[in-house]
Structure 1
Amino acid sequence: MARWVIQVSEKFKPLYAALKAHLLQQVVVQADETPLNVLKEDKKCYMWLYCSGADSPDAALPNVKNIALYDYQNSRARVCPVAFLGDYSGYLQTDGYGAYDGLHHVTNVGCLAHARRKFMDAKKLQGKGKSGKADKALAKIQKLYGIESRLKGATVETRKAERQQHAKPILDELHDWMTSQQVISSSPLGKAIKYTLGQWPKLIRYIDDGHLSIDNNRAERAIKPLVIGRKNWLFSNTPNGADASAMLYSIVETAKANGLILYDYMVKCMKELAKAEPDIDALLPWNFKH
């Protein structure tokens, strides 16, 4: 059965290549990575995830494609995103992992959700029901997310204008508050402040372009199906098997993000891709007709 999956995945390569070409034309790409146990590899391996758009057709901005592509690699090094992204020249939004920094032509964007989690870790040590310094940072971050909630469905232009007017002053307050704190750097609060200040230019970049999101949660949600699946199937036996998983997860999750009936779409894809000259353009999820 594993061999069948690998053989089927080979047929999907032209469609994957077409989806990748569209992904690299998007204004914003989000990325994430997660460990993958591959038995016939002698080093720690990873499944990388690159995505654009949103989780559903209704949530995407106009002219933005909902795409989620997995890429198996036996490394977590910078060479992996460099190889996948090539000459991509848009925004790359991540959790701040260093391998994504310094890519040519790419503008890095940070994730405020990761900063928020670190302040949440600090809050837990304050004791149940007690308030402290971490609450002040969390209150400001909550206001920033409140602005984003009100901007759902807004145009790119409106998102930028509202963020400049309402989010920028809150971000300035948060920055001033963090730089004025005298805390032990090794404490949870110290670590939260250090992370946030270290990521600051990337964290605030979202207010300058309405295409951008406040966080990298789209990528985290897109990689979650593999993380959940991994708890059941545990590992890949070979690199070929891991590549097959990357291929099929990409097709399935991109179809789901475009609101397709998965069974109908996969059947149509397999019939069309079996042809000598398949119509790849017709199989792109946003072109597919049930």
Structure 2
Amino acid sequence: AVQGVQFCSKLFEYERRSQNKKHAFEQRKAYRLEKEKTILDAFWNWLDEQKPRKGSRFETAVKYAQNRKDTLMTYLEDGHCSLSNNLCENVIRPFTVGRKNWLFSATPKGATASALVYTMVEMAKANELNIYKCLTYLLEHRPSEDMLDEQLEALNPWSKEVQNVCKN
């Protein structure tokens, strides 16, 4: 198991190096394919050689990884993807705390409204927008069912207009 952790540590080390070099997404993809793919290939070979004791936690871990190999390898295909889901977990942590508070919403519609507002706030944060400006912009340009896809797309936090109006 120690060797498995060492493979992971090496991958995270390369990810840190890529971040420190401030690689653009395409550069990160190329860097991963050059540096990390060989480590992953060695990891899969090592994993295939393992003969864990039946019923052990190590056997469970080996089977888990082997059954998800294709999924685990997908981060190599896109420099936007992260090696781990730590960022996502950190982002949703406040949401899970908020979810407990929504138990006390007076109606299901009230809980849905709270979740929608929270989603807008987190999307603004993720896109480095001023939250107040972003919420104000969205309220001023209220999305509706009658809007065309292009109009709705223009309200996304990554659209040029929203970025220009709401950037910190």
1:286 aligned partner: 163
2:25 aligned partner: 156
TM-score, normalising length from structure 2? 0.74
Check if 1:255 corresponds to 2:124. Answer: yes
Check if 1:204 corresponds to 2:69. Answer: no
**Inter-CA distance 143–240: structure 2 relative to 1 (3 Å threshold):** same
**1:234 offset after TM fit, Å?**
5.6
Whether the 8 Å contact between 1:160 and 1:207 is mirrored in structure 2 is yes
Distance 1:211 1:243 in 2: 30
Aligned with 1:145 (options 12, 24, 36): 12
**1:216 offset after TM fit, Å?**
3.0
2:114 aligned partner: 245
Aligned residues: 154
**1:253 offset after TM fit, Å?**
0.7
Report which of the two has the higher share of helix.
2
* AA of the residue aligned to 1:202: T
Matches within 5 A, 1:1-290: 134-152=1-19, 153-231=22-100, 233=101, 235=103, 236-273=105-142, 281=154, 284=157, 285-289=162-166
Whether the 8 Å contact between 2:130 and 2:166 is mirrored in structure 1 is no
Report which of the two has the higher share of strand.
1
1:106 aligned partner: none
Distance 1:140 1:272 in 2: 49
- RMSD of aligned residue pairs (Cα, Å): 2.9
**1:272 offset after TM fit, Å?**
4.7
Whether the 8 Å contact between 1:282 and 1:288 is mirrored in structure 2 is no
**Inter-CA distance 196–265: structure 2 relative to 1 (3 Å threshold):** same
Specify the SS of the correspondent of 2:89: helix
**Inter-CA distance 283–148: structure 2 relative to 1 (3 Å threshold):** closer
**Inter-CA distance 205–193: structure 2 relative to 1 (3 Å threshold):** same
Gaps of 5+ in 1: 1-133
Question: Following superposition, which runs of at least 4 residues in structure 1 exceed 6 angstroms of deviation?
Answer: none
Distance 2:31 2:155 in 1: 38
**1:243 offset after TM fit, Å?**
1.9
Whether the 8 Å contact between 2:28 and 2:79 is mirrored in structure 1 is yes
**1:263 offset after TM fit, Å?**
2.9
Distance 1:156 1:264 in 2: 28
**1:170 offset after TM fit, Å?**
1.1
Structure number with higher relative contact order (C-alpha < 8 Å, ≥ 6 residues apart): 1
2:148 aligned partner: none
TM-score, normalising length from structure 1? 0.46
Specify the SS of the correspondent of 2:82: coil
